[in-house]
Structure 1
């Protein structure tokens, strides 16, 4: 009953494990970059950096504050305790800086940055929106009709449109009214930033069998909200009283194209704990529904990048390797032991160890990613080792005439100390790795625990489940002599013959080794020639300071060359200041065998 319960829980745990490409690495640091033109390093330190340091010193969990002052800019680095929730810490720093900004010199800008790998690990897919209308209209259509549908998918945190010119709100402050009310532009920008907070994911809330992502957002939704921003508490002076506020278009900061035609792209990110594969599947269903829904408007949404495909391929490779390895191992065991019951017991022991491993991974908040899959793959070959040793010992006692129960007890007792010592020795190598304090401890921890958990699970199964199954399944009627006698006789004859001709044996081994290396080399060449790349990316980089238009002109030249290539199916382009990329998808050779 215990292992039945463990197995059922293992299935549930496997379904709840988050699936992502790489484990998230969070650096317990936040950076504040301050810019103020025409100020010397001494002025930056005295008038900007020192007030920031004083304000940051009031926050909790801060262990160190470093600062650097240069001509016209300064940088403050805040180091936190490793256990600090950095999302909450970033919100606190943003709030403090919004309150501090009005007291700093005019035209000072503050930027709060936090670096972690969540931007990389939370990426799900990239979509391209194509339509017959004006590009700016297509951007507005994407913002109003497509984006809400995508963000409504369970597990999706944000769907960010790129391309075209986004609508913006232009605020033209009357300088005379500003002076009359004794206000500065810093006070105006501080008041706006304090109530216009970008959407940020902060965690999850659980309710019964459901989970809900929690995001904090305070962005403006209507122009009337901008009019009502309070810029001075006494007298309730609002922004609309001293400024003219209208809709406009933001300055263009990027270009997005498909096959040379301008489009709107959407970058979708998931919650950090979300299952990459299930979220991607739900998104694909939503994309198909939206394509049918907006067909009349001649809107088409295509998928240009799907991170779930990489993860599915990795999972499929692990599953195939596990199945092939298990059956090969069991086949070899059956060849030597000639006992279907023996092999059947080990066939149950391996999945039992895996299901127990999934329980441990879920309890330790691990995820299925490339590193944990590598760890599982490395430990897969060792899952049956302990069970084989125990079962062989039980079989030996059973052949000696003991009944099944006594053979299980005596056989397990004979080897228990040996397999415990062997397993704990291997585990002991990885235990210190788990407790390493480093910025990359999460990566090391995932790999170490993914190897350690299966070994511990296989030890428990070998000492409990395997003897129990052996005691209940072994019988005299099913007892057959082990198939090792004839093999030992053959081995003895071959060994004696080789020992009489040692030089010939050494030459034969060397020739066999050389032939194996040559065969492996040609096999690798053959596989490389048969392997077809599905696509590649061209990165374009210009000197720092290059304008968007200059960068786009360089990228267009690359697009012209790519468009003339015969084997290119589609290519998508992304352009920003001083950098751009062209992602090329090649035609499938299977569809065009004559090429």
Structure 2
């Protein structure tokens, strides 16, 4: 170290077995100048390379890595319970444990979204079937197909060694919107057959036999679209295909079995027990007098009467959709309204960790009065400072600024106070420390 502010590194190509042999390394042939004459060589542990601070207070950063067999959600809950206990015990010493990042939070949020989507899918199925069938018991059968299909598909996840993560949950969310279709088609056709035949057993057999090919073809076609992604040579595409694609495929396969086996059984038991209303009168009422059916009939007749006009409208709609997609892709995307952001400061070459820490403290002091910022975190290395900012809930109401305005204020303050540093929102590449010359 020179004046405690810079570091110089010497690349050594020889093998050394003792500190004495290091001291005899020739730095300059004229003289000669030995390494032991200009430096103090210490045989000890590695020097500290990083410092973490939260709101200016020094912190110790600890990263927990879960075992492959451990459940992430259970591990997160157990860890937080331990943190709460340690905070109570260490409060007298002024020590506080704070969770900076928890991967389980994303999973829990996605699970909440899945529950909402499942509920929404069930409600939509209830609404659509009620419009055409006017029988809550039949609608309940379709609603039951959603949790049954999802829960059974999770067993396939285990067999294929796929964890419940963000990608697999996205796949399930997509599949939920499609898995209801199979049950609706089978149930509606059974109901229609019952209105014609009257016998529950005959109606169930005829209803499933009539549509099973179309339902299976539709489902298998969708599966074939996602299947190649799981075997792609591109690593990223293969990961997406394995988690998202397999999630959709497994859920749809289970929904197909549910539609062909459970739905007919439930429907038969309902009709055989006399639990459904007169299907003949109900079906005829819907088919003949329902306003939606009448509107659809008029629209269909109009399309058949003027086929050229129908084709032109379809082509125009296609081109308009393409133009809208191009317009969306060309326009610069709006910045997502998040409640946190990161900023990186690249230090000059040769900066020591102590000097970087000193500048980090000065940065924190400059940013302490920004009202929208709830917490400031700085991870300090000699070459790069990583600043993380968590914003207050409802921060836009504090000073009327969005996240872009807060980021601009933070960056302007830092660039004004530290003109020699480079600031950016993207993590810089690993910075090479400046090295000193060596000779031998």
> What's the TM-score, normalizing by structure 1?
0.52
Q: What's the CA shift for 1:571?
A: 0.8
1:106 and 2:23 are equivalent in the alignment: no
Deviations 1:311-362 (A, max 9, x none): 2222212221221122112211111121223212212222211121111111
In the superposition, relative to structure 1, how do residues 416 and 300 fare at CA in structure 2: closer, same or farther (>3 Å)?
Answer: same
| Aligned residue number for residue 449 of structure 1 | 246
Q: What's the CA shift for 1:295?
A: 2.8
Structure 2 portions without partners, runs of 5+ = 1-9, 22-41, 329-333, 401-440
Indicate which of 209, 218, 234 corresponds to 1:422. Answer: 218
Q: What's the CA shift for 1:392?
A: 1.8
1:479 and 2:278 are equivalent in the alignment: yes
Q: What's the CA shift for 1:545?
A: 5.0
Deviations 1:282-320 (A, max 9, x none): 111111111222233332222233332222222212221
| Aligned residue number for residue 227 of structure 1 | none
| Aligned residue number for residue 269 of structure 1 | 65
| Aligned residue number for residue 37 of structure 2 | none
Equivalence map 1:217-296=2 (5 Å):
250-296=46-92
Q: What's the CA shift for 1:490?
A: 4.0
Instruction: Please say if residues 427 and 452 of structure 1, whose CA atoms lie closer than 8 Å, have aligned partners that are also in contact.
Output: yes
Q: What's the CA shift for 1:380?
A: 0.9
Equivalence map 1:206-225=2 (5 Å):
none
Separation in 2, partners of 1:583, 1:373 = 28
Instruction: Please say if residues 559 and 582 of structure 1, whose CA atoms lie closer than 8 Å, have aligned partners that are also in contact.
Output: no
In the superposition, relative to structure 1, how do residues 571 and 593 fare at CA in structure 2: closer, same or farther (>3 Å)?
Answer: closer
Q: What's the CA shift for 1:560?
A: 2.9
Q: What's the CA shift for 1:404?
A: 0.8
| Aligned residue number for residue 141 of structure 1 | none
Of stretches 261-270 and 455-464 in structure 1, the one that deviates more from structure 2 is 261-270
Q: Which has the higher contact order (CA 8 A, sep 6+)?
A: 2
Question: Secondary structure at the residue paired with 2:197?
Answer: coil
1:538 and 2:334 are equivalent in the alignment: no
1:573 and 2:378 are equivalent in the alignment: yes
More strand by share: 1
In the superposition, relative to structure 1, how do residues 38 and 581 fare at CA in structure 2: closer, same or farther (>3 Å)?
Answer: closer
Q: What's the CA shift for 1:491?
A: 3.8
Q: What's the CA shift for 1:533?
A: 3.6
| Aligned residue number for residue 405 of structure 1 | 201
CA RMSD of aligned residues (A): 3.6
In the superposition, relative to structure 1, how do residues 443 and 107 fare at CA in structure 2: closer, same or farther (>3 Å)?
Answer: farther
Separation in 2, partners of 1:330, 1:403 = 25
Structure 1 portions without partners, runs of 5+ = 1-35, 40-104, 109-172, 177-245, 522-527
| Aligned residue number for residue 388 of structure 2 | 583
Instruction: Please say if residues 337 and 484 of structure 1, whose CA atoms lie closer than 8 Å, have aligned partners that are also in contact.
Output: no
Deviations 1:226-276 (A, max 9, x none): xxxxxxxxxxxxxxxxxxxx9977422112112112222222222234322
Instruction: Please say if residues 341 and 474 of structure 1, whose CA atoms lie closer than 8 Å, have aligned partners that are also in contact.
Output: no
Separation in 2, partners of 1:411, 1:337 = 15
Separation in 2, partners of 1:585, 1:416 = 54
Q: What's the CA shift for 1:574?
A: 0.7
In the superposition, relative to structure 1, how do residues 326 and 561 fare at CA in structure 2: closer, same or farther (>3 Å)?
Answer: same
Separation in 2, partners of 1:342, 1:429 = 31
Deviations 1:460-490 (A, max 9, x none): 1111111111111125662241223223334
Separation in 2, partners of 1:460, 1:247 = 69
Equivalence map 1:80-159=2 (5 Å):
106-107=15-16
Separation in 2, partners of 1:38, 1:303 = 41
1:464 and 2:261 are equivalent in the alignment: yes
| Aligned residue number for residue 179 of structure 2 | 383
Separation in 2, partners of 1:560, 1:332 = 59
Of stretches 387-396 and 557-566 in structure 1, the one that deviates more from structure 2 is 557-566
Question: Secondary structure at the residue paired with 1:270?
Answer: coil
Question: Secondary structure at the residue paired with 1:419?
Answer: helix
> What's the TM-score, normalizing by structure 2?
0.68
| Aligned residue number for residue 353 of structure 1 | 149
Instruction: Please say if residues 339 and 479 of structure 1, whose CA atoms lie closer than 8 Å, have aligned partners that are also in contact.
Output: no
1:370 and 2:166 are equivalent in the alignment: yes
Q: What's the CA shift for 1:566?
A: 2.1
Give the number of aligned pairs: 345
| Aligned residue number for residue 114 of structure 2 | 318
Instruction: Please say if residues 114 and 169 of structure 2, whose CA atoms lie closer than 8 Å, have aligned partners that are also in contact.
Output: yes
Q: What's the CA shift for 1:578?
A: 0.9
Separation in 1, partners of 2:90, 2:253 = 54
Q: What's the CA shift for 1:438?
A: 4.8
Separation in 1, partners of 2:68, 2:356 = 34
Q: What's the CA shift for 1:421?
A: 1.9
Separation in 2, partners of 1:422, 1:591 = 47
Instruction: Please say if residues 168 and 247 of structure 2, whose CA atoms lie closer than 8 Å, have aligned partners that are also in contact.
Output: yes
